[in-house]
Amino acid sequence: MSKVNSSTTLDSTELYLKKVLPGSIDDVRLQLMDALETVGYDIIEEEPHIVGRRGNHGWASSVASANVLDYARTLTVRLKPINDSSTSVTFDYMIRRHMSKGDHRIIAQEAKTIASISRNQSIETVCSVCETESTDDSRFCRKCGAPLTSEQAEVEVLRLMAEAQAGKTSMTISLVSLIPSALLLLVTFFLNNADLIKPKLVPLFIILGTAGMISSIVFALFGWNRLRRLLGISEAREPHAPRYSPPAIDKKDVRELPPQTTRPASVTEGTTNLLDEDLLERREKEKIPVSNKRVTNDLD
């Protein structure tokens, strides 16, 4: 994944990323639309470009979330065929929010996740949760309902990275708010004892310092909650009908099986056929001399 260009203003961010995916343009288009729906996008346009949108989640509606994935964004995927077996894909993000460098990395990781899910859509035969074997091509376990595809692991990695970045942002804001607030209260206390400050300004400085301390504690709690959610279980997404299914071999079609062979199952089977048949018959007809005397010597 290569970063082409980005621009950030006070209220919006544009991000362009480019990648080459294997497959024809029609197959890549269907795979990418499935991947977009897997990570939570709503497809509003399929041709000539794929356009997906996501709405605000949680505190993002109040512009109070530190997780960039909670904010509404529009993703336009532009496809350009290189040849019959590869396609150039450009991810064009429009996010109504100012973003830091850490947020840029999270959005780039989301584009990588979408590309990875579009390439890896294989279905496991054994459920990783209850270890029940699947006997058909179902994408979910019939016993516990867990997904049998590897796409959930990619989405979980993206969630963990976003939560870690959000926790870091909250802790940074808490620290930035804590230091000046504490200094303001200390300076006000010493200046008031030395009678170097007007008495009317003391309550104002105390209120400002206390408000800063309270906001620092609030952001610290938000950061702690983000870190705690790193070990939590992500919310289950509603399954969607896939547009693209990888080709599979029909297990019931015996004509696809290789022809049966008459080779022996063992390397030693049938080796006696190498002997002369006449010699074998002659040996079978010959009588083996057997002595009629019995040995009755005493044992030592």
Q: In the prediction, which pLDDT does 254 show?
A: 47
| pLDDT score, position 188 | 92
72 exposed, middle or buried (CB, 10 Å; 0-12, 13-18, 19+)?
middle
Contact 209, 131 (CB under 8 A): no
Q: What is the pTM of this model?
A: 0.66
Alpha carbons 61 and 95: distance in angstroms, whole number: 13
Structure token digits, residue 248: 């599979």
Task: Report d(CA 207, CA 212) in Å as an integer.
Answer: 9
Q: What is the pLDDT of residues 131-190, one digit of tens each?
A: 666 666 566 677 776 666 666 778 888 999 999 999 999 999 999 999 999 999 999 999
pLDDT digits (tens, 9 = 90+) for 94-139: 998 888 888 999 999 999 999 988 887 655 566 666 766 666 656 6
Choice among 49-53, 151-155, 279-283 with the minimum mean pLDDT: 279-283
Identify which of 165, 11, 226 has the alpha carbon closest to the alpha carbon of residue 97.
11
Q: Which CATH superfamily is domain 1-121 in?
A: START domain (3.30.530.20)
Sequence spans of domains, the chain: 1-121, 151-238
Task: Please give the structure tokens belonging to residue 98.
Answer: 């100012």
Q: Is the pLDDT of residue 298 over 80?
A: no
Residue 287: pLDDT band with limits 50, 70, 90: low
Pairing of strands 86-95, 13-22: antiparallel
Q: How far apart are CA 296 and CA 76, in angstroms?
A: 103
**How many residues in the chain?**
300
